[in-house]
Amino acid sequence: MAYEQVKVETPLVLRILPVASILLFFGVWQAVVELKIVPNTMLGSPTQVMALFWEKLFEANPDGAVLTTHAYISIIEAFTGFFLSLIVGVPLGLLMGWFALAEGLARPIFELIRPIPPVAWIPLTIFWFGIGIPGKVFIIWLSGIVPCVINSYVGVRMTSPTLIQMARTYGATDWDIFKKICIPSALPMVFGAMTISQAYCWTTLVGAEYLAADQGLGYLITMGRRLAMPTMVLLGMICVGLTGVAIGIIIERIEKRLLAGIRR
């Protein structure tokens, strides 16, 4: 065998350092609160957050819902917005990349709307949809669609021109080339868009819920502020972070699966 599997050990120090770093972070945080360096009205300690986490799993008060409901609502909103942005954004970007007509029509409008931060749409959204789920989905959709369109567009644009010429010598029509060459070539970029778009959606979700919601993790943060409970704010923040990481990992797994046959 020319290629042998060998095990390369990471030095002990390098393996310990990340763990030590995290322990130190939480230790200092705990100490800062315990020793009243920062008053408890401004910051909750990690143990307090843990306790509230446990409590909120079963207790709907004071904000009106248990933690799992908040998380569930947020995930539903984020994913609905995310899927809608994929369904609209990817085909739009692909078409814009290949057909001059699509680009000419859609690009100016897209470029006009793109620089407006999705959160700036919140007031209008409240007029249109109220504070229910559809409004938040709309805002999330707006933020998720941007990377979908851009990545799909660039993906098609990066198609090898020689491959296109080759297909022409085989009598391929524009539509054939789009379907059989441009789309497969663009796929790695499109899957890349999934990761980016999901991250955008999740970020915007918290903003959307912060202003217009009655349930969801962002709403939990808002309620924490209104009730002057820094521990609840922190709990909301941590839950948003952890759920975001979890979704990110799942999407990355899916992306790797899908790309296994393409990226070589």
Residues that bind another protein (CB under 8 A): 160, 162-163, 165-172, 176, 181, 184, 261-262, 264
Q: Please count the CA atoms within 13 angstroms of the CA of 51 that sit on its side-chain side.
A: 6
How far are the Cα atoms of 60, 129, 200, 213 from residue 124, in angstroms, in the given order?
31, 9, 20, 15
Nearer to another protein, 5 or 169 (CB): 169
Rounded alpha-carbon distances, angstroms, from residue 232 to 56, 67, 225: 9, 11, 8
- Closer Cβ to another protein, 139 or 181, answer by number: 181
CB of residue 119 vs another protein: minimum separation in angstroms?
39
Closest approach, Cβ 263 to another protein, in A, equals 9
Residue 5, phi then psi, degrees to nearest 5: -80, 120
Give 40 or 165: the residue with its C-beta nearer to another protein.
Answer: 165
Contacts of 91 (CB under 8 A, 6+ apart): 152
Closest approach of another protein to the CB of residue 171, in Å: 4
Looking at the Cβ atoms of 10 and 162, the one nearer to another protein is 162
Least separation in angstroms between residue 94's CB and another protein is: 16
d(CA 101, CA 156): 15
Give CA separation, 29 vs 4, 16, 55, 141, 264, in Å.
Answer: 46, 20, 21, 36, 46
DSSP 121: G
Structure tokens of 77?
């909103």
Question: Toward another protein, which CB reaches closer, 61 or 169?
Answer: 169
DSSP state of 181: I
Q: Is the Cα torsion angle 67, 70, 209, 189 positive or negative in sign?
A: positive
Tokens of 191: 């899957």
Which one, 50 or 259, has the nearer CB to another protein? 259
Nearer to another protein, 58 or 170 (CB): 170
